[in-house]
Structure 1
Amino acid sequence: MEKSAKGKPLSAQFGKRHIQAILMFFCITIEFASRNILNVAIVSMTDPDASSNPDVPTYDWDDTNIILSSFSWGYIILQVLAGQMGISHGYKWVVCAAMGVNSVASCLIPFLASQWGSAGVMGTRVVQGMAQGFFFPIAHLMIGKWAPENERSRMTTFVYIGVGVGGVISGPITGYLSGSSWGWPSVFYVFGAMGLLWCLAWSWAGYDSPATHPTISPSERKYIEESLGQHEDKGSIPTPWKAIFTSIHYWAVVVAFLGSAYGNIFITTETSQYLVNVMNLSVEWNGLVNALPHIAAIVTLPLYGYASDKIIERQWLTRVNARRFFQLYGSYVQAIVLAWMAFLNESQVALAIVLPIIGNAAIGGILYGSDVNLIDLSPRFAGVTHGFSNTLSSAIAMLAPIVVQYTVTDMSDPTQWRIPFLVASLGYAVTSTFFGFFASGDRQWWDAGPKDQSETTDKPAEIIDLENVI
């Protein structure tokens, strides 16, 4: 193993790649928190008794589920472009601008709600969705450029644990502020300010790649680039769209994304209303209870990342079978949890709180299934492949709040919640089973660029190795 000038293995040295991971962790944390706060705050926005301050405005809206779905309308628009821009022009200033737009939009929600009602909130959430569509493709691209192969699971863990941290901080803070004399508007100002502060830190210390970092050590740069088999002297490489879209292994990831995105949107946007209306939790308790599943994810994600690395390193499972295991484990447990919750009644409050914790403790496994598998297939094009996958899955996920809007006519009736819970459950199980059959853990031939593609013009169509499926 190559060593630094101090004689320690480079893999054990804190370097510039870790600073990039820390910055992206905070990006994902703020992004997910600012996405999630409306799911809790909307209860206070429509409840005159939620705040201790009678001057805090509230609204009589009957389209709350449509408001919650509006984020996804914008989220699906720019993700492919985000990944492509990150490859062709560098992602540093792209993601900085996206966070700036997202944060300013957050600060504007209270004003626009007072001026244009639910339409003003929906318009602002569409803008936030468009801006936040940049973050996950660029996070995947950053990991693909900065994470040596043997550190990929750990860096992915660290960056995406921001989703759990964002969920943990957003729920209690939103519940507390909404019930205080400051009221729900303060929530959007607080998280908007956090995003603007992140922009300052990123503009100072964020970089597009090891090759563009002015103070990275030559040994760390060499370590990263040789591990990935990529160097920056090839220039801009066109995206091999045809090869990507004809790869069954890539479509295995896309299909898995469909089920997990739908289930995730259903859980994050509808759980608050379910707990308040069916289980009769207060706004403050609702915020705290919503944080518990995210805490479970924070605890289990590092364990799964460590286990994933060790399983592959010690060859207990091949890379692809490790990806299959974590995908199926996470999705099947979550599917069972959602199916169980479909049949709870208002007297089973404890189960309604505990079951989502169990589901979230398990669902983090898919990060080491379909999510990180995109980087396995193509580190170079992880941004655009994630962008397309997330775009398509987010379009499907938009249906989750709409399904609730039209199937749950009485929000306090637990029997009417059965259909949306069961649809989400089936989505997790069916799509992950497809991934289990058709996934691959190998870097694909089309990741290497145009020269390699021209040399493989006679390459036969991909053959699925059914013997390696199990």
Structure 2
Amino acid sequence: MENKAPFFGARHVQCILLFLGAAAAFAQRANLSVAIVAMMDKNSANPNFEEYQWSEQTKSYLLSSFFWGYFVTQIPGSQLAHKFGGKITLLLSITLSAILALLTPLSVRLGDWQLLCALRLCQGLFQGSTFASIHTILSKWIPAEERSSLGTFCYSGMAFGTVLMMFVSGWIASSTFGWPGIFYFAGLISVVWGFIFYFVGTNTPSECKSMTEAERLYIEAAIATTVKPEHEQAIMKTPWLKILSSVPFWVVLLTQATYAWGYWTLMTQIPSYMKSILGQDIQSNALMSAAPYLADLLLTFVFCFLSSFLIKRSYISINVSRKLFNTIGFWVPIVPLILLGYMRADQSELALILLVIAVSVNAAGNLGFLINHIDLAPNFGGVLMGMASSAANIMSLLAPLAVGFIVTDAVRIFSIYYLYRKLTFLFNGLHLQKNVLQWRIVFYIASGMYFVGNLLFILFGQTKIQVWNYPKRQSTTA
């Protein structure tokens, strides 16, 4: 007899918790991107708090420092999640990082940008296991036919956390709390989430006491063919050599890396772009910066519904769905990104529309590469996510540094640029960080990354479960 899944059940509760966990994690990441505008411009925020005269290069160090630590703990974090379960690693990842968020204003006061940079690095170290933990939990809870919708819903928490942070940052920075309140807000909501997740979150359906027997049977029957039973999984060794020689895995790794460059270029630099090119103050800056991510969040639900509808009605296969939505998410934003490089200060409305399109449509990629790790190897979904995230976060680290280099070192960059253009004019009105031509290079690079990443995914990406997902069945030495 076919097991019927309840319309709303325990698996949905777990997904909501993962959604909120991703939101808390990203609120902690996005807080500096919006707060740093107020920290470096006393006139645009609360004048009672200190202003810091940091250079663009120093700012790029601060915005990228989180990823220095984040890169280091990706693979170790995924192994811990694989061994001990995703709940404990996710809980520690977000709550320990939240404590450091609460200490951020004090660290700046005591040690200026150097101590802030060190603190952000430590936050990255703690959060290194975040998404490997989420992948590990999803692989135990979500059947394949619901993976596109529910899995992507969980990761839409990234956009929600970003929207929330950008929406409230302008008000907080201009209130009696000042820019320190931005960090206190991100830290407090993360601690509250951790308290709830400790009591309600679980690693597997077998640990959940509040679910119905019908739902438990539905999940166990659907996942039994792809994931090893819990007692076998505990002794399953990671087939490192087979993973590293797998073409489908390398494809998803490279796709994720190119996505990270484009996503984090926009995530960390939109507030600065709004201020330097469009001349927006901190309050309107925050609202305008949040608009693309609000659209991202809304479109994610649309894409989830559409993907689920197409797959359940058998209009398209899972493989076609992954590549279709990945293409929408990667290639559609290319045109608005390139056009952003041609905006002027008096075109802020058009620039905002282009940003909304570029960022929001990018959400479709989450239904492509982002859950492809579990397609390839449900038993090692968290491990694959950790490895791919490690590579992706090299890009996340380099992207803000590249912006700092391009926007600061104008003479070198544009000497080459204008030489190529046969010196048609000589630096007329060149203002270093406010020159739109510098941002044009930034957006061209991000567009190129998106194009190459999706091309690889279309040509070589797969959704078939790989043989090395079952290492014990191959040999005792795997």
The normalised TM-score by structure 2 is 0.90
Q: How far apart are residue 360 of structure 1 and its match?
A: 2.0
Q: What is the one-letter code of the residue matched to 1:167?
A: T
Q: How does 1:194-209 map to 2 (within 5 A)?
A: 194-209=189-204
* Structure 2 contact 373–384 (Cα < 8 Å) conserved: yes
Using the alignment, how far apart are the partners of 2:456 and 2:345 within structure 1? 35
Q: Provide the residue aligned with 1:58 in structure 2.
A: 51
Higher mean displacement: 186-195 or 206-215: 206-215
* Structure 1 contact 165–294 (Cα < 8 Å) conserved: yes
* Structure 2 contact 87–137 (Cα < 8 Å) conserved: no
Q: Provide the residue aligned with 1:374 in structure 2.
A: 373
Q: Provide the residue aligned with 2:251 in structure 1.
A: 252
* Structure 1 contact 211–232 (Cα < 8 Å) conserved: no
Using the alignment, how far apart are the partners of 2:212 and 2:109 within structure 1? 53
Q: How far apart are residue 55 of structure 1 and its match?
A: 2.4
Higher mean displacement: 307-316 or 199-208: 307-316
Q: What is the one-letter code of the residue matched to 1:362?
A: V
Q: Provide the residue aligned with 1:138 in structure 2.
A: 133
Decide which of 67, 74, 80 is 2:75's aligned counterpart: 80
* Structure 1 contact 252–435 (Cα < 8 Å) conserved: yes
Using the alignment, how far apart are the partners of 1:344 and 1:10 within structure 2? 50
Q: Provide the residue aligned with 1:117 in structure 2.
A: 112
SS in structure 1 at match of 2:173:
helix
Q: Provide the residue aligned with 1:439 in structure 2.
A: 461
Q: Provide the residue aligned with 1:453 in structure 2.
A: 474
Higher mean displacement: 75-84 or 104-113: 75-84
Using the alignment, how far apart are the partners of 2:315 and 2:16 within structure 1? 30
Using the alignment, how far apart are the partners of 1:233 and 1:126 within structure 2? 36
- Taking a change above 3 Å as real, the CA distance of residues 95 and 456 of structure 1, as seen in their structure-2 partners, is closer
Q: How does 1:88-107 map to 2 (within 5 A)?
A: 88-107=83-102
Using the alignment, how far apart are the partners of 1:398 and 1:180 within structure 2? 32
Q: How does 1:21-32 map to 2 (within 5 A)?
A: 21-32=15-26
* Structure 1 contact 378–444 (Cα < 8 Å) conserved: yes
Using the alignment, how far apart are the partners of 1:78 and 1:440 within structure 2? 27
Using the alignment, how far apart are the partners of 2:369 and 2:284 within structure 1? 34
The share of aligned pairs that are identical, in percent, is: 30
CA offsets 1:74-115 (integer angstroms, 9 cap, x no match): 111111122211111122222211122111110111011011
Using the alignment, how far apart are the partners of 1:133 and 1:75 within structure 2? 5
Using the alignment, how far apart are the partners of 1:321 and 1:201 within structure 2? 38
Using the alignment, how far apart are the partners of 2:275 and 2:66 within structure 1? 22
CA offsets 1:222-272 (integer angstroms, 9 cap, x no match): 321221123224241111111211111111101111110001110011111
Q: What is the one-letter code of the residue matched to 2:54?
A: W
Q: What is the one-letter code of the residue matched to 1:418?
A: R
Q: Provide the residue aligned with 1:129 in structure 2.
A: 124
Using the alignment, how far apart are the partners of 1:147 and 1:431 within structure 2? 27
Q: Provide the residue aligned with 1:289 in structure 2.
A: 288
Q: What is the one-letter code of the residue matched to 1:10?
A: A
Higher mean displacement: 399-408 or 108-117: 399-408
Q: How does 1:247-286 map to 2 (within 5 A)?
A: 247-286=246-285
* Structure 2 contact 93–129 (Cα < 8 Å) conserved: yes
Q: What is the one-letter code of the residue matched to 2:67?
A: S
CA offsets 1:404-452 (integer angstroms, 9 cap, x no match): 111112111111112111111100111110111001121222212x322
Q: Provide the residue aligned with 2:340 in structure 1.
A: 341
4+ runs deviating over 6 angstroms: none
Decide which of 152, 155, 162 is 1:157's aligned counterpart: 152
Aligned length: 449
SS in structure 1 at match of 2:346:
coil
* Structure 2 contact 23–159 (Cα < 8 Å) conserved: yes
Using the alignment, how far apart are the partners of 1:417 and 1:322 within structure 2? 34
Using the alignment, how far apart are the partners of 1:402 and 1:102 within structure 2? 23
Using the alignment, how far apart are the partners of 2:247 and 2:316 within structure 1? 22
Using the alignment, how far apart are the partners of 1:47 and 1:297 within structure 2? 29
Using the alignment, how far apart are the partners of 2:202 and 2:172 within structure 1? 35
Using the alignment, how far apart are the partners of 2:182 and 2:221 within structure 1? 45
5+ long unaligned stretches in structure 2: 409-431
* Structure 1 contact 262–397 (Cα < 8 Å) conserved: yes
Using the alignment, how far apart are the partners of 1:136 and 1:451 within structure 2? 26
Q: How far apart are residue 215 of structure 1 and its match?
A: 4.4
* Structure 1 contact 346–414 (Cα < 8 Å) conserved: no
Using the alignment, how far apart are the partners of 1:213 and 1:153 within structure 2? 23
Using the alignment, how far apart are the partners of 2:171 and 2:325 within structure 1? 35
2:420 pairs with 1:427: no
SS in structure 1 at match of 2:72:
coil
Q: How far apart are residue 212 of structure 1 and its match?
A: 2.7
* Structure 2 contact 45–282 (Cα < 8 Å) conserved: no
Q: Provide the residue aligned with 1:467 in structure 2.
A: none
Higher mean displacement: 255-264 or 54-63: 54-63
Q: How far apart are residue 295 of structure 1 and its match?
A: 1.2
Q: What is the one-letter code of the residue matched to 1:414?
A: V
* Structure 1 contact 374–386 (Cα < 8 Å) conserved: yes
* Structure 2 contact 274–289 (Cα < 8 Å) conserved: no
Q: Provide the residue aligned with 2:425 in structure 1.
A: none
5+ long unaligned stretches in structure 1: 4-8, 458-470
* Structure 1 contact 75–131 (Cα < 8 Å) conserved: yes
Using the alignment, how far apart are the partners of 1:381 and 1:451 within structure 2? 13
Q: What is the one-letter code of the residue matched to 1:96?
A: L
* Structure 2 contact 152–371 (Cα < 8 Å) conserved: no
Using the alignment, how far apart are the partners of 1:311 and 1:445 within structure 2? 27
Q: Provide the residue aligned with 2:12 in structure 1.
A: 18
Decide which of 38, 42, 51 is 1:44's aligned counterpart: 38
Using the alignment, how far apart are the partners of 1:393 and 1:232 within structure 2? 30
- Taking a change above 3 Å as real, the CA distance of residues 144 and 423 of structure 1, as seen in their structure-2 partners, is same
2:374 pairs with 1:353: no
* Structure 1 contact 2–10 (Cα < 8 Å) conserved: no
Q: What is the one-letter code of the residue matched to 1:97?
A: L
Q: How does 1:381-400 map to 2 (within 5 A)?
A: 381-400=380-399
* Structure 1 contact 51–181 (Cα < 8 Å) conserved: no
Q: How far apart are residue 218 of structure 1 and its match?
A: 3.8
Q: What is the one-letter code of the residue matched to 2:180?
A: P
